[in-house]
Amino acid sequence: MSRAPLIACHECDLLQHETVLADGGVARCRRCNAELYRSRPDGLNRALAWTLAAIVLFAIANAFPIVGLSVNGDLVQTTLFGAARILYRDGMWPLAGLVLATTIVMPLLQMVTMTYLLLPLRFGRAPLHPEVMFRTLRLSEPWGMTEVLILGLLVALVKLAHIAGVVPGVALWAFGAVMLALAAVSSAFDPREFWEQVSAARRASGAGANQTHVNHETHAAPIHAPAPASAPAAAPTAARAGLFVCHDCGLLSKAEPHAHEATCPRCGAQLHFRKPDSITRTWAYLISAIVLYIPANTLPMMDTSSLFGAQRDTIMSGVVYLWTSGSWPLAVVVFIASIAVPMLKIMALVFLVVTAQRRSLWLPVYRTRVYRVVEIVGRWSMLDIYVVTVLVALVQFNALATINAGPAAIAFGAVVVLTMFAAMSFDPRLIWDPTERDDG
């Protein structure tokens, strides 16, 4: 009888036995093809090294100007924080807060928590209260958008080049390096290896008793190495086997009789068989996003004042400007990220929610893939927000030319945030639940 540990797919909830992977190998769900885990040789040490490098680069990126604009011998420069401050000064504080959160606060939080978790392990010690910092890390990861910022800066540079001489700053290159370093961190960090090393460090320091106490308090017993009998044919999913799966650390926990929620005995996350009120909350976010999508695309995104008069640009007129000025590749990128992606994401989420609500059996593998795409592309809609931020910060020449953020910028930022919340609220396991009704 096999003693291989069980693992549950986060997207379809199917219980499967873990297997040993070759270096660089990837284990995928045999039902929905989602990635379950991968082999990352020496991943934690590499993640720590890249994190420390990212912190140094991040400090440089925020200490020096991103870009400068040279007009008649005068050089106007701005840092990222300075650009957000100008938005706040102009009364666009929701937009300023969103830019600060997604480009400074969340990336910094990700780097600080990663360092806190990995640095003690490098010296053979378990970090204090790793469960809190681990959940904080998981919270910050989706909201750090350095890669989207870089693309937004490139689009802004093209637009600024038609106004005056553009002088790229040190911070532009530093942010590009931060983007690459954070991508390397995400690629190297393995939560499974992290918790294994935490457990080993605790055992070495005699802290096992404390972990036992935590398990007792959370009323959920971890499943370490169950036999196949733990997942009989009538209960191929974690929920039907009475097991909670933690979406933060991946641990399987045995639910108490008649319990519908618990706390993860390892990382302290809240556990449920399915996300509470998933359909209702997703609909609420989607309806709000649909309502705001209209003003986001019809109201002006930027107000430009110059010696030649005033101009109000919507998202679409900005795309047309890039196209007619010869920057058609960037026009295509902006159109896809700022117009097509939000609309298609809303349509895809409506499709997923309706089919899940109707307990449709139609092509669950295809619908799961749609959900994965929605999760990946949603953040790229922030592109236009970063473009507006840079333009507003640099084009402030009083009587000559001034650019201010328009009301559509706040509405558009809200659409991006609401659709991301909608995707996070939707539980993809609901797609697969109807396929289990005839089992047993």
Mean pLDDT, all residues of the chain: 83
pLDDT of amino acid 52: 96
Rounded Cα distance, 92 and 358, in Å: 41
Q: What percent of the chain has pLDDT over 90?
A: 34
Gap between the terminal Cα atoms of the chain: 22
Rounded Cα distance, 105 and 103, in Å: 6
pLDDT tens figures, 164-181: 778 888 999 999 999 999
pLDDT tens figures, 364-395: 999 999 999 998 888 888 888 898 888 888 77
pLDDT of amino acid 61: 94
Paired residues of 126 in beta bridges: none
Domain-by-domain residue ranges, the chain? 6-272, 278-436
Rounded Cα distance, 51 and 53, in Å: 5
Single-letter residue type at 431 = I
Rounded Cα distance, 108 and 59, in Å: 10
Paired residues of 297 in beta bridges: none
Query: Measured at the alpha carbon of residue 232, what is the angle toward residues 228 and 235, in degrees to the nearest 5?
Result: 125
pLDDT of amino acid 306: 57
Rounded Cα distance, 422 and 406, in Å: 25
pLDDT tens figures, 198-224: 988 888 877 444 443 333 333 444 454
Rounded Cα distance, 211 and 226, in Å: 20
pLDDT tens figures, 290-334: 999 999 888 888 876 655 556 677 888 878 877 877 777 778 877
Query: What are the φ and ψ backbone dihedral angles of 69, each rounded to 5 degrees?
Result: -125, 120
pLDDT of amino acid 205: 79
pLDDT of amino acid 401: 64
Single-letter residue type at 271 = L
pLDDT of amino acid 133: 92
Asked if residue 240 has pLDDT above 70, the reply is yes
User: Who has greater pLDDT, 35 or 71?
Assistant: 35
Asked if residue 233 has pLDDT above 90, the reply is no
pLDDT of amino acid 397: 60
pLDDT of amino acid 23: 80
pLDDT of amino acid 228: 38
Burial of 38 (0-12, 13-18, 19+ CB in 10 A): middle
* DSSP code of residue 338: I
Can you list the pairs that 343-350 forms with residues at least 24 positions away whose Cβ atoms lie under 8 Å? 343/293, 345/374, 345/377, 345/378, 345/381, 345/419, 345/423, 346/286, 346/289, 346/290, 346/293, 346/419, 348/373, 348/374, 349/282, 349/286, 349/374, 349/419, 349/422, 349/423, 349/426, 350/286
CB of 434 closer than 8 Å to CB of 18: no
* DSSP code of residue 343: H
How is residue 116 written in tokens?
């806190």
Q: Is 237 helix (H, G, I), strand (E, B) or coil?
A: strand
User: Who has greater pLDDT, 3 or 440?
Assistant: 3
Q: What's the pLDDT band for 230 if we cut at 50, 70, 90? A: very low
Residue 33 CB neighbour total at 10 angstroms: 15
> What pTM was estimated for this model as a whole?
0.85
